C-alpha cells in the first residue's frame, strides 16, 4: 500500500510562515523517513494518547525506530506517557531531544492553578535529577541508550 505524500500540505504551511515545522503523530520509522525527506525541522513521536487506535504502539516503544530513521537529520521529541522524571530519562536515553508534558501540566493546573503547574515541573525536574544521579550522569549529555537498553 502506498502511503499519501503530504508534501503539498507542508509546502502550503511553509508559504504561511517561515517558522520551523514540527510534525506530530509519528510512530513509524517509514513515516519519520518521509517527514525528514519533506524537510521538517522536527518530529514529535506521539500516538495522541493512544486514544485514536486500539493497539497503537507506546511512544517510548516507537521512539528508537523513529530516532534511527531520522538519523540526526531533524530533532526528535516525544509526547505521551511522560508522568515521572525517569520517563524523561528513558526518552532522552533513547534519543529524544526533549519531551512534551502536557497532561501532567494540565493536572497541576486543574489541582492548584499556576502553583500546581510549577509544582509538577519542579517534581519532574527533581525526579529526573535523582534518576540521573543514580545512573551516574552529571549532565543531560551523559545520558545514553546503554542506560536503558542492552547493547
pLDDT of residue 81: 87
**Residue of 13, 25, 33, 48 marked catalytic:** 48
Model-level pTM?
0.90
> Is a pLDDT exceeding 80 seen at residue 49?
no
Q: What is the pLDDT of residues 3-20, one digit of tens each?
A: 556 678 899 999 999 999
Q: How confident is the model at residue 127 (pLDDT cuts 50, 70, 90)?
A: very high
* Residue 18 bears catalytic tag: no
What is the average pLDDT across 55-70? 93
Which residues have CB under 8 Å from 116's CB, separation 6+? 107, 108, 109, 110
Q: Where are the domains of the chain?
A: 13-147
Name the grid cell of 34: 518521509
Mean model confidence pLDDT for the chain = 92
Which residues have CB under 8 Å from 34's CB, separation 6+? 3, 5, 6
Among all chains, which residue has been given the C-alpha cell 542506560?
A: 147
CATH H-level, domain 13-147: superfamily: Aldolase class I (3.20.20.70)
Amino acid at each position: 500500500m502506498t502511503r499519501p505524500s503530504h508534501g503539498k500540505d507542508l509546502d502550503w504551511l511553509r508559504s504561511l510562515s517561515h517558522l520551523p515545522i514540527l510534525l506530530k503523530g509519528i510512530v513509524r520509522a517509514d513515516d519519520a523517513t518521509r517527514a525528514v525527506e519533506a524537510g521538517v525541522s522536527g518530529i514529535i513521536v506521539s500516538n495522541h494518547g493512544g486514544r485514536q487506535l486500539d493497539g497503537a504502539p507506546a511512544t517510548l516503544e516507537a521512539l528508537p525506530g523513529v530516532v534511527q530513521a531520522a538519523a540526526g537529520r531533524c530533532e526528535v521529541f516525544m509526547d505521551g506517557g511522560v508522568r515521572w522524571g525517569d520517563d524523561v530519562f528513558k526518552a532522552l536515553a533513547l534519543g529524544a531531544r526533549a519531551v512534551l508534558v502536557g497532561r501532567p501540566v494540565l493536572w497541576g493546573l486543574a489541582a492548584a492553578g499556576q502553583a500546581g503547574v510549577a509544582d509538577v515541573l519542579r517534581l519532574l525536574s527533581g525526579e529526573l535529577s535523582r534518576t540521573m544521579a543514580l545512573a551516574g550522569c552529571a549532565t543531560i549529555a551523559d545520558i545514553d541508550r546503554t542506560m536503558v537498553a542492552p547493547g
